[in-house]
A and B are shown apart, each in its own frame.
Chain A
Amino acid sequence: MAEERPGSWFGFGFCGFGQALGSGRGRQVLSPEPLRVPDAGTDICDIGSLSAAWSYTAIVSSAGRLLLSGSARGAADGCRDAWASETLRAVLRDGPGGPGPGAELQAWAPGAALRGEPLWARPAGPEEAGREDDGAACETRAGPLPLLPGARAHLSPRPPLCRPLCPALRARRLALGAEHALLLDAAGQVLSWGGGRHGQLGHGTLEAEPAPRLLEALQGLRVAAVAAGGWHSVCVGETGDIYVWGWNESGQLALPARGLAEDGQTDAGEAPALKEDGAGLKGPAGPEDAAAAPFIAVQPFPALLDLPLGADAAAASCGSRHTAVVTRTGELYTWGWGKYGQLGHGDTASRDRPRRVQCFVREQLRVTAVSCGPWNTYVRAVEPGRS
């Protein structure tokens, strides 16, 4: 967040609406390119938060300047956080006296350029979180959007746009998928609710859950981060383990995906890269692989995912149908749907196995953060010796 030393941001994937992504030319960027926001009046290298919707991206600098690029354009000052979705844009703005009491949450219609009146506005100051009596008060107060400060409500792209959360949940982080929600609480437990037809809730069934339900399969594990894709879910444990569950139609769970094998898109033909990653060769199952793992379309409960070379995860983010993970050693691995270059490997192939984004290794940059839009990926990286 704001207290980290500034690094450089990169982007790759879909930019068909001219959203900030490298050169911004063309419809997609296949390899990481330095972020360049068209018409950026100020230096944006110290980005505080970044939120990408399908057709536009909202960037908030640590100085509080909000920049929109893509199908929505505009800029505003005095912003602390922003949340971008196709149907709703939410901005957490400082009050008239600067940061602190008086902060306001504003929701804007997608077409509005931050001028005029927002759709609605409500106070969202730290006084709401002051009633927490445990030491984790600062965590609940700083919950990033779509979790509202105070963690008593969250945003939603569909009406009702602001939904209450039971305070007893002590929500720390919230991630929203196309039809489900993941919640990480103060004790490191994960809860999920919403639609479940693709196994994205992780309770072992395909049934929907109307209210937050604890993921029993993860009990005993202290989770540090959760991420939600369109129909899949990822969590990172405090020890660096990754768990995935949900829909695997494009390999976004890094499990064998039938669709990729039929299109000839497995990694079987790329021996050198695989050796570096430490992953074994595995093409479409042949007659000798009688015991080969079958294709998995849906994984209804969490499965442990091993990154190549036993790397530990530090952070994860999901796009609509792809997944990106940052390791403790500063590497970026991506897998899943790659048609718009959102995996950053320089092509448009989809992958059902984790692959390291070589660009950062080549440039000797340490990746420190990742944030995915539905069809693109934004990455923060620093030179080693800093951060």
Chain B
Amino acid sequence: MIHSLFLINCSGDIFLEKHWKSVVSQSVCDYFFEAQEKAADVENVPPVISTPHHYLISIYRDKLFFVSVIQTEVPPLFVIEFLHRVADTFQDYFGECSEAAIKDNVVIVYELLEEMLDNGFPLATESNILKELIKPPTILRSVVNSITGSSNVGDTLPTGQLSNIPWRRAGVKYTNNEAYFDVVEEIDAIIDKSDDVSFHPCIRFKRWESERVLSFIPPDGNFRLISYRVSSQNLVAIPVYVKHCISFKENSSCGRFDITIGPKQNMGKTIEGITVTVHMPKVVLNMNLTPTQGSYTFDPVTKVLTWDVGKITPQKLPSLKGLVNLQSGAPKPEENPSLNIQFKIQQLAISGLKVNRLDMYGEKYKPFKGVKYVTKAGKFQVRT
């Protein structure tokens, strides 16, 4: 299936390669670079590229390209999903998935890649299993290892690998047993939502189907239990509104920009962490604005305006006003830019979803239970 993997940074350097079958030359990446050049924007590089002898399937994550080389028919999503899993694993091990982190830990990266695929077919992708096979780097451990000469590599097969519950290793013991639930909801303002759920494999599907109860043996550590989508009918409450007035004068080198944000249906909770991002039209040279609250930046190269608003206090609504300098002589932009809004509301799940009860069976101790609710903006776009 997956023949080779190349990691490429934004400036086009191949800084890591790994082959699971015979070696494929780096030169195969030239086809990728060609496509990248054609696409202009990194986001537009096609995930699947056909070359005379191979197929390249790539993902773009954290400013890195993961380019895999394929020789025969394979479901593209299989490879894409796997590559994301690799990136997730790096994130998990090194705290970030960056070129520096990967280069610093190249041996662990190599050991991981070796365990994750055999002959191009995924072998161990559960983080629990991998962590037993290859220990994540910590400062303490590397000091101890250098003194004692012990290693980061486990020498027995992780029990999870053999069981039907690969997500939990055997014999987990803690003095404090805690179960926390973070209910994180994201509001998507253009896309409709309807109820649909996806589960972590630990959830027993039949119980959910018949009793609408989530019954599971939890993995050890953080994990995503379920993802759900709620129909938009329940979500008439959109927590913020935006008043906007953006105009560009014909035959003039300036325009006006004025936006105000206010709370709406926030159910008594504070809306915080508000950020507004606007992709201004190309003819905008600079912006001269005054925020009543927070701070703003405008990048004249990418033409992205970012306004970090913070909290909304209903007494004084935050606004951002000022002038826009346009390239003189260029025609005025035809369309006003869309506003992308980020925000957070603590202690609120806007769909009304609630963790009703947590029962635990088969253990004598009582775990500490905690539930946290957060509502966030997902892809929240306001057309102006």
Co-assembled chains A and B: no
Residues of A that sit less than 8 Å from B by CB: none
